[in-house]
Amino acid sequence: MTSASQQSKTAADPAVDAELDQLPTTPIAELRKRYRELFRTEPPKAFGPDLLRRSIAHRIQEKAYGGLNASARRLLDQLVKAAMAKPNGRLELPRRIKPGSELVRSWKGKTYRVMVMADGFAYDGEKFASLSEIASEITGTKWNGPRFFGLRSASNKAGSDGG
């Protein structure tokens, strides 16, 4: 059951619809003015009418219906940083592991179990901040923890799992 406030947030606002309907016929001078009002900055010189309309429409809807939540913004920030670090590299979305999940890995004939907690990982009665710490503890060498536990694909399959 949804509350009235939830319904009003998701229901179309006639004023928003009316403003969006006007954008396709708005002259570029007015689009630049509206951009300045909404973003409190000059529109980029490279923005033609199409990008101005799209940016303005997005901001109007964002103000009326709400923007991205904090976790989505963080994910986008991570992706931007990764893209800037490796402009031609492959981007991988970070996997979200829910607290309470158990990661299981066999290594040299022995099975290892790690419990995911809200603030880290539990292994062998100890708390760890990262999976890499646990992987190093298990193997005795430096490992990428998410890769060791099968959460991230290896860029090359040359490495051995030791078992």
108 pLDDT exceeds 80? yes
pLDDT for the residue 11 = 73
Question: For residue 68, which amino acid is it?
Answer: L
Confidence of residue 155 (pLDDT cuts 50, 70, 90): low
Q: Are 145 and 132 in contact (CB under 8 A)?
A: yes
10-19, 130-139, 153-162: the lowest-pLDDT one? 153-162
Tokens of 132: 């890499």
Domain ranges of the chain: 10-65, 102-148
pLDDT for the residue 81 = 84
Helical axes 49-65 vs 14-22, angle rounded to 10°: 180
What is the chain's mean pLDDT, rounded?
A: 85
- Cβ atoms within 10 Å of 34's Cβ, excluding its own: 21
Confidence of residue 79 (pLDDT cuts 50, 70, 90): confident
Q: What are residue 95's phi and psi, to 5 degrees?
A: -80, 145
